[in-house]
Amino acid sequence: MNYRTPEEIEIEARELFSKYISRVDELKNKERIAIPLQEMPTQAPEVRIHNLQEVALGYTPEEAQLEAMRCIQCPTQPCVEDCPVHIDVPRFIDRIAHGKFQEAVDVIKENSLLPAICGRVCPQEVQCQSRCSVGKIFKTVDKAVSIGRLERFVADWERERGEIGVPEVKPDTGKKVAIVGGGPAGLVVAADVRREGHSVTIFEAFHKLGGVMRYGIPEFRLPNEIVDKEIETLEKMGVEIRTNFVVGKTRTLDELMNEDGYDAVFIGTGAGLPLFMGIEGENLVGVVSANEYLTRANLMRAFEQDHAVTPIYRSKVVAVLGGGNVAMDASRMAMRLGAEKVYVVYRRTRKEMPARVEEVEHAMEEGIEFLFLSNAKRILGDEKGRVRAMECLRYELGEPDESGRRRPIPIEGSEFILDVDTVIVAIGNGSNPLISQTTKGIETNKWGNIITDENQKTSMDRVYAGGDIVLGAATVILAMGEGRTAAAAINKMLAEEIEKEKQQLEEARKN
């Protein structure tokens, strides 16, 4: 993949824009699909590995309108069906094609208050873009309309103008709802419930809201400024935020409901319990979970080496175990923190990697080396108990397993030594167990995930849950989708209660 500068991309887009803009309403489908997919401008790889600024720079208005013109507005609208929060994708894209950016934002916000976040980190290629009719014409999702990039563009356009709209809030109902966890699911529930006039309080264990969007995703993919702006909207709506508050320790779930008078609770505590491989040497100095590594770097700003109060392990040669987005984030962060060499060690091939294609490509552009069909067998230490190397084993692929991917089979006698001083384990996370450990009546499955029904209701009355605490480690947009479902159920329950209370009051007056 040859790198092209933002200036080169912009010049080409302007030439095409002048060709098509006067006929935007007259374009035939054949002409629309002839418009080339608009490449997302990025920082040059040799520059971005030395900073934490955002890698993807976003579309210009001309690039966005051109990309929007590629949409053929098909009547089947599979993109809407495949969006977990069911944004009216064709309608917002049509508004962009016509240069009506505020109208496009307004369409998105009918279903989502986090467009700047979702446009950046959601895996659109396996969701809204996966069945795009344009992509099907070319027989590859790589040519689908860039829905996520367009969502990001209009969200950034609105924010940069300083005119982010605040959703209307209905009159106070007297009902109180507690949100446990300030991640994507919790933020969505807070917004949707608050719109209906209910009092909402978010209880967050950390000192800042955002959940995985803040502690798990580096700023070179999702700047904290973006997260802060989305949260600011909730505050303007009147949502109360209480940080450094650990539900299960500071206050139990039962106390919130029975003593503090909350009429409903939503649990969105995420999946923040890191998993390890259980191999020899994982207790050595220099072995760390990706969860801890990224939390120190992102939330606690350990990358500010001269004055950070939270340290981070200094590395020269790093091995990251895993093939998901977290592994990509950890490896790319290690490079930015000064590592001379970074390996990603993955036991399958690139084809089976769950990480987004764009993230893998960016990592490769930045000089990260991928060791496919390999995995750690044990970690070796020196006389001081520090990592000095990792013994790896080579693999071959067998038949597909329960995940649908071909099963990795170790090759006997294929061991080799990889000289490293740091090993970052990024093989997944388990569900946060604190709520289930401190609350009787919450049913969980064998992995510790809270069990819910189709409305996200738990086994406890008036208690709902969603996001990673239910799904396991998933995506921001899937967590948001569960949040919307839970919020609708909470609003329905409270509305019925309010109506019943009104009827009882009316009957009492008559008597």
User: What residue spans define the domains of the chain?
Assistant: 6-160, 176-272+430-503, 276-427
Any idea what DSSP says for residue 204?
A: -
Q: Identify each DSSP E strand in 363-506 by its residue range.
A: 369-371, 374-381, 387-400, 406-410, 416-418, 422-425, 429-430, 463-465
Comparing CA positions, the residue from 435, 484, 437 lying closest to residue 463 is 435
- The reported pLDDT for the residue numbered 466 is 95
Helices and strands, counts by H and E, the chain: 20, 16
- The reported pLDDT for the residue numbered 230 is 84
Residue 305 makes CB contacts below 8 A (sequence gap 6+) with none
Burial, 145: exposed, middle or buried (Cβ in 10 Å; 0-12, 13-18, 19+)? Answer: buried
- The reported pLDDT for the residue numbered 1 is 56
- The reported pLDDT for the residue numbered 345 is 98
pLDDT by residue for the chain (511 residues), tens digit each?
578 999 999 999 999 999 999 999 999 999 999 999 999 999 999 999 999 999 999 999 999 999 999 999 999 999 999 998 899 999 999 999 999 999 999 999 998 888 999 999 989 999 999 999 999 999 999 999 999 999 999 999 999 998 788 889 999 999 999 999 999 999 999 999 999 999 999 999 999 999 989 999 999 999 999 999 889 999 999 999 999 999 999 999 999 999 999 999 999 998 888 999 999 999 999 999 999 999 988 877 777 777 767 778 889 999 999 999 999 999 999 999 999 999 999 999 999 999 999 999 999 999 999 999 999 999 999 999 999 999 999 999 999 988 788 999 999 999 999 999 999 999 998 888 888 889 988 999 988 899 999 999 999 999 999 999 999 877 888 899 999 999 999 999 999 999 999 999 988 888 7
Q: Do domains 6-160 and 276-427 have the same CATH topology?
A: no
**Homologous superfamily (CATH) for 6-160:** Alpha-helical ferredoxin (1.10.1060.10)
Q: Which residues pair with 418 in a beta bridge?
A: 390
Which top CATH class is 276-427? alpha beta
Measure the CA–CA gap between 219 and 98, rounded to whole angstroms. 32
Tell me how far CA of residue 258 lies from CA of 11, 176, 193, 264, 498, in angstroms: 63, 12, 20, 11, 19
Contact assessment for residue 468 and residue 447, using Cβ atoms and an 8 Å cutoff: no
**What's the gap between Cα 329 and its chain centre?**
12
**Homologous superfamily (CATH) for 176-272+430-503:** FAD/NAD(P)-binding domain (3.50.50.60)
Comparing CA positions, the residue from 104, 90, 96, 103 lying closest to residue 62 is 96
- The reported pLDDT for the residue numbered 205 is 94
